[in-house]
Structures are given as C-alpha cells and as structure tokens.
A and B are shown apart, each in its own frame.
Chain A
Amino acid sequence: MLEMIQNDFIFQYGFMQRAFIVGILIAVITPCIGVIVVLKRLSMTGDALSHSSLAGVATGLVAGVNPILGAIVFSIAAAFGIERIRKTFPKYSEVAIAIIMSTGIGLAGILSGFVKNSAAFGSFLFGSIVAISDFELYIVIGLSVLVTLTVVLLYKELFYMTFDEEAARLAGMPTAIVNFIFTLLTAITISISARTVGTLVISSLMVIPVASALQVAKSFRQTVLYSVTFAVTSTVLGLFISYYAGFKPGGTIVLIGIIILVSVLAYKNIVKKALIQRTVKVNL
C-alpha cells in the first residue's frame, strides 16, 4: 500500500495540486457564508442561486454577453429576490427559496434551448474540482481573500444580525448595508464556485459542515471554526480517497462530509449516555 502511494504520488500532478488549493480555499469560505445562511434557515440558498446562475449563463450566451458575468448578475438578482420574498413571507423563508429555485430552473431550461452552441453552454455548466484552469485558480484566490476579509471585518455585525436583526438595527448597526454586502457576497461566491467545482460540492459545503458543527459547538465562534475545519477535512480526505480509490471527487467530498456528520451525532450520543450513566452511579 505504502509503495503504491509512493509510486503514485498524488501531488506529482498539477491538476491535483490545483484541486487541493482551490478545494481548501472554497472549503474555508463556503462554510463561513454557510453558517449564516443555515442559521437564517435558508439552507437551500446554494442550490437556488446556482440554478439561477445557469439561467444567467444561458442568457449571456443568447444575448452575446460574457456568460460568467451573466451568471453573476442572475445569481445576485436571485439572492436579492430571495431577500425580498422572504420579507413578504417572514415565517416561511423556504418559500422564497423554492420560488427562486423554480424560477431559475425554469428559465435555465427554456433559455438553454436557444443557446446555439451547446459546447459553450456545457463548458460553463460543467464544474469539476479536478479540471481547474489558471483563470479559475486566480479568481478563486481573489474571491477567498474578499470573503475572508469581509467575514473577519464584519464578524460581529453578521453575528448580531443573524441572531436578532431588529436588535442589531436598534444597536445602531447599518443593517441594510451589511445585509446588502452579505447577499452580494453569497451570490458571487456561489455563482463562481458552482462554475468551478460544481453545484453539488458548493451547495453541500454550505450546509453539511455547518450541521456537524452545530452538534458540537459551544458558541457561535466555535460553530464557524468547526464548520471550516469539517469542510476542509472532508475536502482534503475526499480528494485523497477519490484519487487512490478511483471515485468521482465531487460525490466523495460530499459523502465524507456526511460521514463526519454521522460520526459527530454518534459521538454525541455516546457521550450523553456515558454522562447519564455516571450521574446515575454517583446518585446511587
């Protein structure tokens, strides 16, 4: 086994190096956004926005505009659409997501029929973590810097607004601006990452590591840190396993995330039982 690994050294390939760099960067920034999205009960945002950005790609190609730009614009429009509809149905955030997601899928479905050159369409639809171009590498690095800076600088604002938006406004926070920045950032991150590593990876990295973190974290700060740790772990492990076992990388990363979640739940149960038993013994 060891010999096989040595002969078949994973990092000798440039595309694997890029897969690790981009994978880790995305695994750091996606859960940062994901924590807030999940706590706002908008877990399906990732899917909704990436489907809407497909419609943007199609529109870009039909209208002769840069499709990446189309994707970003549609994703931003969809993100603000969700915010707008969410205010109309305050207690049913998922309604907003369902509406935007269906609109995105429907529009993408119709518009893709009018794209003359399906090859061009395909190349924008298709994202794979093992096929990252130089351009995508740079854009993901830039995006990571932007997201990390924003999350660090607006950490307390984002926390307070997620916990209690009204109180945050009363505390003098420019909630409208912070909301605007966050929504914009979410839309840009999802539309770019979905084109780079694929919709599956991005929408699951937003939610699954956060779900695991919520099981063990003892504070908001820990929730963010655990989410990032779990996301990076599942990406790195997923890439290694998919390389040596010959699995598809996207699916492997997602399933490792699920295995982490199940392990965390099992661990929590065992600890709980042990605690109860100890208490019972002490009481006896």
Chain B
Amino acid sequence: MKSNLVKTACLVLVIGLVFAVGCSKQTSEDVKANHDGKLSVHTSFYTMADFAAKIGGDKIKITNLVPSGTEPHDWEPAPKDIASLEKADVFIYNGAGMEGWVEKILGSINNEKTTVLEASKGLKLLENADKDEGLQYDPHVWLNPALAKKQLEAIKNTFVSVDSANKSYYEKNYNEYILKFDELDKEYNQTVASFSKKDLVVAHEAFGYLCNAYGLKQVAIEGLGAESEPTPARMAEISKFAKENEVKVIFFEELISPKIAETIASEVGAATDVLNPLEGLSDEQVKAGKEYLSVMRDNLKALERALK
C-alpha cells in the first residue's frame, strides 16, 4: 500500500516537473540576453512595448512583461519578472489603473537605477461611469490616436533624458511616427463620417477614448476591468438595446471569452466580430507584422462593416 502511494506521489511530481521544465525555457531567454550597450527597456503590456519600439528602434532592448496573448488586467508577475525589472534602465507602463499589479511591484523592487514612466500621466482621463468597478478612470487612452501621440512623446522624452547620446535618433523616429498617427486619425475621421449608426456593442468598456474622439457611442456588456459573470438583467438590457437600435454586430475581444458576446448575438440575430483594444497581440499576429497602426486600421474596417 505504502509503495503505491509513493508511486502515485512520484508520478504527480514528475508530471509537474516535466511541464515546468519543458515550458520555462522560452521565457528565461529574455532575461539572459545581454544588452550590447543597448538601453534595457521593460514595458508592461503590448502597446507600451510597440510604442517604445517605434521610438527606440535598434537602440533599445525591450522586455515585455505581460506575455503575448494574455489579458493585462488580471495578469500576475512571476518572481522572475520582478527580478528582471530590477535590472532595467527604463520601465514603461500605461497607468491610470490599467496594470493593477504595477504599484505592488514598484513598491517591492529597488528601482533607484530604473527610470519609471507612467505613459498616461498628464493626459485628460475619462472618469469611470461605473464606480463599483473600483477603477476611477478609464485607462484605455491609447485607442485615441491623438492621445497615443502624447504617449509616444512621453516615451521619447524619457529615452532622451536617460540616453541623451542618441537624442537625434529618438527625435527622428518620433517625428516620423507622429505623421503616421496623424494619417490614421484622418482616415478614422473620414470613414466615421460615412457611418449611418453610431452605437457599438462591445464586450468590455475599453473604447471610451476611441468613441469620444470620433463621436461614437459604446455600450459595453461588462465594465472596464477584466471579465466576470454579467447579470441577466444587464444582458437583457443589452439585448433590448441591440434589437431597438438594429445593431448588426456584437464586438468581442480576442483576449476575453467570446461566450457572452455570442450569447447576445444569437439572442438578437446579430453577427460577432473582433474589435481589438490592443491590450495584447498573439504571437501569430506579431509574426504577421501586426502592430498598433495596422490593428487600428483593422478595427476601423470592422467598425465600418458594423455601422455603415
């Protein structure tokens, strides 16, 4: 009897270890990399990493903390992540409540050497309408290209102050990209002008800044935070709204379960489509060359299909 128990226990242990060893390889590579004189920049989630890359180019080495394909709202750092953060020159996060875990980490590390940038600082934030969520502001500022430009600027300024030797390189990149962001803004304005409808039903309330910028209105199934079980009353309300306003498409996000969106879509006879709040991209998307600008254009096309 005893030996059987030991056997069972060993089996469980071995299975656990095999998985742990087999899977931990990929993540530790980032930490091992030496800088080759490059600025070591850590970012909280995908869009911050993308913005940093746009400015920093090949002068910086980026480590993105929230892995691709993971929802940043409820991500939790591993001890290894915190350790690697201590060695960073710059840490960029969005702030405004987007990354709940950042404050805890910043308190626990010795970050005298690390320059910390809260990229949403100083921007005019939207108040969170739904106070019970615990978030005071809507953090999804980057979805308005005009505010995203401000974030680029803050990132550029930080790089310049930490690494003044490459000042002109960062300035040049910044100037190139703001033009591209302006262009995106223009495309949005032109396309939205042709929309017959202004209401979009989305999975979570991430598109406040986007809607504000272009005169659209979002109706969100869930609040600003991560996913939770919606109340049936809320679902009925949304269904009613969608029926009354003849909503053709219910939007969901790739990082959140599409179950609720699908339920409502089948309720009102609508289709579902992806509207990406750029909280993270999957490896495949990154490989396919997707980044902020192209995803925002995909979003615009999705909006066009739904609202025209």
Binary contact track A84-127/B, C-beta < 8 Å → 1, others 0: 11011000000000000001001100110110111100110110
Nearest chain A CB to B286 CB, angstrom units: 11
Binary contact track A17-42/B, C-beta < 8 Å → 1, others 0: 00100000000000000000000000
Q: Are A84 and B234 in contact (CB under 8 A)?
A: no
Q: Is A128 part of the binding interface, using a Cβ–Cβ cutoff of 8 Å?
A: yes
Q: Is A250 part of the binding interface, using a Cβ–Cβ cutoff of 8 Å?
A: yes
A-B interface, 4 closest residue pairs, ranked by CB to CB distance from nearest: A123-B257, A114-B23, A246-B233, A131-B263
Q: Is B128 part of the binding interface, using a Cβ–Cβ cutoff of 8 Å?
A: no
Chain B, 105-162, CB within 8 A of any chain A CB: none
Residues in chain A near residue B4, CB distance under 8 A: 84, 88
Q: Are B266 and A14 in contact (CB under 8 A)?
A: yes
Q: How far is the CA of A239 from the CA of B236 in the complex (A)?
A: 13
Nearest chain A CB to B66 CB, angstrom units: 10
Residues in chain B near residue A87, CB distance under 8 A: 1
Cross-chain contact of A119 among B8, B255, B262, B263 (Cβ < 8 A): B255
Chain B, 87-117, CB within 8 A of any chain A CB: none
Q: Is B50 part of the binding interface, using a Cβ–Cβ cutoff of 8 Å?
A: no
> Which of B67-75, B205-213, B290-298 is near enough to bind chain A?
B67-75
Q: Are B19 and A246 in contact (CB under 8 A)?
A: no
Q: Tell me whether chain B's interface is mostly helix, strand or loop, or mixed.
A: helix
Chain B, 21-44, CB within 8 A of any chain A CB: 23
Residues of chain B at interface, number, CB under 8 A: 42
Q: Determine the residue in chain B with the shortest Cβ distance to A244.
A: B233
Residues in chain B near residue A244, CB distance under 8 A: 233
Q: How far is the CA of A58 from the CA of B259 in the complex (A)?
A: 18
Q: How far is the CA of A88 from the CA of B1 in the complex (A)?
A: 7
Q: How far is the CA of A246 from the CA of B258 in the complex (A)?
A: 22
Q: Beyond A116-B283, A134-B266, A244-B233, list 6 extra A-B contacts (CB 8 Å).
A: A110-B20, A122-B256, A123-B257, A126-B227, A133-B263, A246-B233
Q: How far is the CA of A114 from the CA of B283 in the complex (A)?
A: 13
Q: Is A258 part of the binding interface, using a Cβ–Cβ cutoff of 8 Å?
A: no
Q: Are B233 and A245 in contact (CB under 8 A)?
A: yes
Known: A247-B231, A250-B229. A117 touches B267 (CB 8 A): no
Q: Is B5 part of the binding interface, using a Cβ–Cβ cutoff of 8 Å?
A: yes
Q: Is B232 part of the binding interface, using a Cβ–Cβ cutoff of 8 Å?
A: yes
Known: A15-B235, A239-B232, A246-B233. A133 touches B259 (CB 8 A): yes
Cross-chain contact of A132 among B5, B227, B257, B263 (Cβ < 8 A): B263
Q: How far is the CA of A273 from the CA of B93 in the complex (A)?
A: 65
Q: Is A81 part of the binding interface, using a Cβ–Cβ cutoff of 8 Å?
A: yes
Residues in chain B near residue A119, CB distance under 8 A: 69, 71, 253-258
- Max chain B C-beta neighbours (<10 A), residue from A13, A14, A247: A13
A sample of 11 cross-chain residue pairs with beta-carbon separation below 8 angstroms, ordered by A number, consists of A85-B8, A87-B1, A107-B19, A114-B19, A118-B71, A118-B255, A130-B263, A131-B230, A242-B231, A243-B236, A246-B231
Nearest chain B CB to A60 CB, angstrom units: 13
Q: Determine the residue in chain A with the shortest Cβ distance to B229.
A: A128
Binary contact track B205-248/A, C-beta < 8 Å → 1, others 0: 00000000000000000000001111111111001000000000
Q: Is B264 part of the binding interface, using a Cβ–Cβ cutoff of 8 Å?
A: yes
Q: Is B288 part of the binding interface, using a Cβ–Cβ cutoff of 8 Å?
A: no
Cross-chain contact of B264 among A15, A62, A117, A118 (Cβ < 8 A): A15
Q: Is A249 part of the binding interface, using a Cβ–Cβ cutoff of 8 Å?
A: yes
User: Total A-B residue pairs with C-beta atoms closer than 8 Å?
Assistant: 119
Q: How far is the CA of A110 from the CA of B24 in the complex (A)?
A: 10
Q: Are A14 and B259 in contact (CB under 8 A)?
A: no
Known: A8-B236, A15-B264. A126 touches B259 (CB 8 A): yes
Binary contact track A209-230/B, C-beta < 8 Å → 1, others 0: 0000000000000000000000
Residues in chain B near residue A19, CB distance under 8 A: 232
Cross-chain contact of B229 among A8, A198, A243 (Cβ < 8 A): A198
Q: How far is the CA of A19 from the CA of B307 in the complex (A)?
A: 31
Residues of chain A at interface, number, CB under 8 A: 45
Q: Determine the residue in chain A with the shortest Cβ distance to B5.
A: A88
Q: Determine the residue in chain A with the shortest Cβ distance to B75.
A: A118
Q: How far is the CA of A134 from the CA of B236 in the complex (A)?
A: 18
Q: Are B12 and A85 in contact (CB under 8 A)?
A: no
Q: How far is the CA of A138 from the CA of B255 in the complex (A)?
A: 26
Binary contact track A126-156/B, C-beta < 8 Å → 1, others 0: 1010111110000000000000000000000
Q: How far is the CA of A103 from the CA of B19 in the complex (A)?
A: 14
Q: Determine the residue in chain B with the shortest Cβ distance to A59.
A: B19
Q: Determine the residue in chain A with the shortest Cβ distance to B234.
A: A246
Q: Determine the residue in chain B with the shortest Cβ distance to A109.
A: B76
Residues in chain B near residue A16, CB distance under 8 A: 232, 236
Residues in chain A near residue B233, CB distance under 8 A: 242-246
Q: Are A116 and B69 in contact (CB under 8 A)?
A: yes
Q: Is B16 part of the binding interface, using a Cβ–Cβ cutoff of 8 Å?
A: yes
Q: How far is the CA of A283 from the CA of B20 in the complex (A)?
A: 73
Q: Is B184 part of the binding interface, using a Cβ–Cβ cutoff of 8 Å?
A: no
Residues in chain A near residue B78, CB distance under 8 A: 113
Nearest chain A CB to B49 CB, angstrom units: 17
Q: Determine the residue in chain B with the shortest Cβ distance to A116.
A: B69
Residues in chain B near residue A246, CB distance under 8 A: 231, 233-234
Q: Are A249 and B16 in contact (CB under 8 A)?
A: no
Q: How far is the CA of A246 from the CA of B229 in the complex (A)?
A: 12
Q: How far is the CA of A85 from the CA of B78 in the complex (A)?
A: 32
Q: How far is the CA of A85 from the CA of B1 in the complex (A)?
A: 10
Q: Is B282 part of the binding interface, using a Cβ–Cβ cutoff of 8 Å?
A: yes
- Max chain A C-beta neighbours (<10 A), residue from B229, B256, B260: B229
